[in-house]
Structure 1
């Protein structure tokens, strides 16, 4: 089997101004036959950490050392990526709620349909996400089909959650593809650390699957699987003052602990207090010490520590 790195511009559709929307797809073919791994970054445009992780993986994976094939799409939603928005600006749709899409539909529906075509025939799939423009996150989803990938990736908290309807992972699992979703970094904080962890974690996944040579690094000794994860969304907008910020992600805190306060930006009136809902609560998504929030924003995210079991 001849090694190769090919780059293809896969057409999606043509816009009203005549611009041709395309996806850049890298294919790394290894020196020997083996599994097919697909990786997506940038499904949500306000999560450039995933796109950058996949871009760096293109250079980090040596086809000469590879067994099988790795297909990488660094920017799965180009217009959302350019606008730094979660949803596609052209139709307002969330790409990760649109799979399997529709080749005859709107821009986002056509993107989903093309991405499904790229996923078809894969053995493994990793979807890279992060905390968006203002928050950092640190966990990975774990599914029965692909559990070894999630453990090898190295996050200390693994979430055994059901995929969202219309997500790429949900579609892939129903088509027999083993999956992992990375939720790592974001918010412009600790960028180099999170990028290094995403890169190293993925290479360790490939070693675990015997797609790259070398002995895999063992998962963290304190890695746990949790069954419940909740987003704390403020009902009032204002200035969010975090008492447990990005530097506290991963900590366990007692139920009722004050995690953040929402204050009026002009009068300093305290509008709302966000507290830990579980005994204990494990912080998995946080913000910097001060950020603006609107009603319903992702404020913080915590896992129910009482559901935690060793990942072993």
Structure 2
């Protein structure tokens, strides 16, 4: 029998339950929704979670579509799933845990006796470290972003190639290969010897169906490639970036993008203009280097010095 919280599944079974992570302000138990899919034959273990950031919902949408299609009688190995990781932020529709104003994906491996967020990190990482592979489903918050998979361990890490392979298998078309901040699950997992990736399924308010579908297909690619399920995965070339250039606005006004999300730009390409409310151009912002327009703000109004967009740089094909 395989257990995760109150979910218990014998071989050939699927079960859902709850994983306790602390108590709310009224003393009631705070629990995360979890699932265990236990295959009929032995194999690897995959850990997946969504909504580490409470307003990033495309991963939840992907799991909502993946889990009903899983038949444990056709599965080898085990899948452990946390459907919503950042409970308090998810309930409020916010990015960070409002109990302690902390970002969950900066607190791994956590502390079971620590803050609210540290306790959630400790509980979810306790499940994740049981796995052979970790997929941490994210999105670009509520900004606009291409679909990508992030490899966050750094190129000198002993598991870098394994993480990069997992990212390519997931197959969003773009990979960001750049060492991430301390406390990210995609940093801590490889340190424990577990290949880990961070798919960023676009960026949306609510569900974006195209990005959700990238997540569904990516999960099934992983399940087939690593022999959880029968089936062949065709490995497609991925466009890889190893850096970011961020651009802000030197003036306040209305942003008008001159290139499309995902479009290749060269040094000197006009990325966006800023006009006043009557349409008079106040500034033209050009790219400092070649790359791909990777991420943009969603709302056109901008203040001076405010973030507008990011360009992925150091591009190659993997």
Q: 2:57 touches 2:206 (CA, 8 Å); kept in 1?
A: no
Query: Could you say which residue in structure 1 is the equivalent of 2:7?
Result: none
Q: For the structure 1 residues 103 and 155, does the alpha-carbon distance in structure 2 shift closer, same or farther, using more than 3 Å as the test?
A: same
CA deviation string 1:151-175 (max 9, x = no partner)? 1222222122112201111111110
**Greater CA deviation, 45-54 or 229-238?**
229-238
CA contact (8 A) 2:145 2:296 kept: yes
Give secondary structure in 1 for the equivalent of 2:218.
helix
How far has the Cα of 1:215 moved from its partner? 1.1
Between the aligned partners of 2:310 and 2:186, the Cα distance in structure 1 is 21
CA contact (8 A) 1:39 1:73 kept: yes
Which residue in 2 is equivalent to 1:253? 265
Give 3-state SS (helix, strand or coil) of 1:141's partner.
strand
What residue in structure 1 maps to residue 240 of structure 2? 225
CA RMSD in angstroms comes to 2.4
Aligned pair count reads 301
- Give the aligned partner of residue 317 of structure 2: 310
**Structure 1 range deviating more: 229-238 or 18-27:** 229-238
- Superposed CA deviations along residues 128-183 of structure 1, whole A, max 9, x for unmatched, are 11121232332212342322221122222212211220111111111000111101
Give the Cα separation in 2 of the matches to 1:126 and 1:102. 21
Q: After the TM superposition, which residues 130-145 of structure 1 pair with which residues of structure 2 at under 5 Å, given as runs?
A: 130-142=139-151, 143-145=160-162
2:288 is matched with 277
In the superposition, relative to structure 1, how do residues 271 and 81 fare at CA in structure 2: closer, same or farther (>3 Å)?
farther
Using the TM superposition, give the Cα deviation of residue 270 of structure 1 relative to its aligned residue in structure 2, in angstroms.
5.6
Alignment equivalent of 1:25, drawn from 34, 55, 59: 34
Partner of 1:173: 190
TM, length-normalised to structure 2: 0.86
Confirm or deny: 8 A CA contact 1:224 1:310 kept in the other structure: yes
Q: TM-score, normalised by structure 1?
A: 0.87
Deviates more, 1:295-304 or 1:147-156: 295-304
**Unmatched 5+ residue regions in structure 2?**
1-9, 152-159
CA distance change for structure 1 residues 274 and 55 in 2, over 3 Å: closer, same or farther? farther
Report how far residue 257 of structure 1 moved: 1.8
Show structure 1 runs of 5+ residues with no match. none
